[in-house]
Amino acid sequence: MMKPQTTAKTLVVAVPLAVGLERGLQESLDGRRPIPEYVPLSELHEPYKEDSKFDTAAFVENLEGPGIDTGAPVTRRPGVYDRMSHIDVPLHSKLDDIAYADKSTLDGRIQRTLAAKPMYEAASNAWGVPSTIIAAVLMQENFGDPMQMNMAGDGGFGHGQLQGRKAKELGLETVGHSNAYQDFSHGDDIAALLRSCNYEASCAEEVEERASPLKAIDGTTRNLKDGFDRYRNWDEAIQYHRGFVNQAIGRDYLRKVKGWQAAIENPSTVEGALQDLVERNPGLTRSQFEIRAQHEAHNWDLPSYTGRLTRIQVPGYAKHALIDPGN
């Protein structure tokens, strides 16, 4: 399957900010000239080190770009998907080496889901779906694990466990030719793809867009919004995501999701999960975990998704990294 051409991304690190910087940055977004007064990462020789004293949290410049078109039908493939690509920035700290609690436990689900928080909050802002509903669906459907296959092997995959046909209806590209809501051969196709990619999401995403945590979260969020538009309440929207509205299966699903939602909204429960996380990972602080979650979102091209030029704090440097989301 051919992938649409994507716009090359530029990662640069600021050396002092100059007068007229915003104009220069906006012009770079428009493709008129490169970002000025910056040194490419390749020219920096200081090795990257995480700095536990460095401030957390990325922040976003108010520079509007294309981003998600929320005026389009909620089930239509967002045009921004064709501009998004995985940007494996070596400077960025990873989530891969973090030890989580078992995914079947409450702590394990919360920890993995919080690793996707920058992405599900962006989707919440884009489509108006409460962020804790999105988080609770991820906790229920895939334990917060972005590479989770459906336990039955019937074709559900990734954040939100969109089935093959539903993913296609939402405009995501999928591996194989499945056109069913439940398809065990499609599950086999996904399993074979993951093995061939050595379970690397960036490899699988080339032909199966549910492997992109950001696109899968966006698709799940749009499906919840579609349910809300149909039924005008969130309880039935949640059941709609399961595929059984006002039936026993749907009501049981709603009960479970609302239980996870109550947990992710409970500060003491989240506090306990985060405390468990740092105890499992000597030397990892909560602020470093938040930074890694931000960097993971940027590696999956959050700036293109939001349509904003995003300035990320880079641990180990008293500078900022800037990602140009492209045109």
Question: What is the reported pLDDT for 196?
Answer: 96
Q: Order of strands, edge to edge, in the sheet holding 59-64?
A: 38-40, 10-14, 320-324, 308-313, 59-64
- Residues 120 and 118: their CA atoms lie apart, in Å, by 6
- Domain range summary for the chain, segments of one domain joined by +: 1-92+297-327
State the amino acid at position 148 in one-letter form: Q
User: How remote is the C-alpha of 309 from its chain's centroid?
Assistant: 17
Q: Grade residue 10 by pLDDT with cuts at 50, 70 and 90.
A: very low
Greater model confidence, 258 or 320: 258
Which pLDDT score is estimated for 140? 96
**Three-class SS state of 164:** helix
Amino acid 70: pLDDT: 80
Higher pLDDT, 301 or 24: 301
* pLDDT for the residue 319: 34
Average pLDDT over residues 100-110: 96
In this predicted structure, what is the pLDDT of residue 68?
85
User: How does the average pLDDT of the chain come out, rounded?
Assistant: 79
Q: How far apart are CA 117 and CA 96, in angstroms?
A: 16
- List, in sequence order, every residue forming a beta bridge with 149; answer none if it has no partner: 157
Gap between the Cα atoms of 24 and 27, Å rounded: 5
* C-alpha–C-alpha distance, residues 133 and 249, integer Å: 18
Each residue of 114-129: b (16+ CB within 10 Å) or e? Answer: bbbbbbbebbbebbeb
> Apex CA 203: angle with CA 95 and CA 81, to 5°?
90
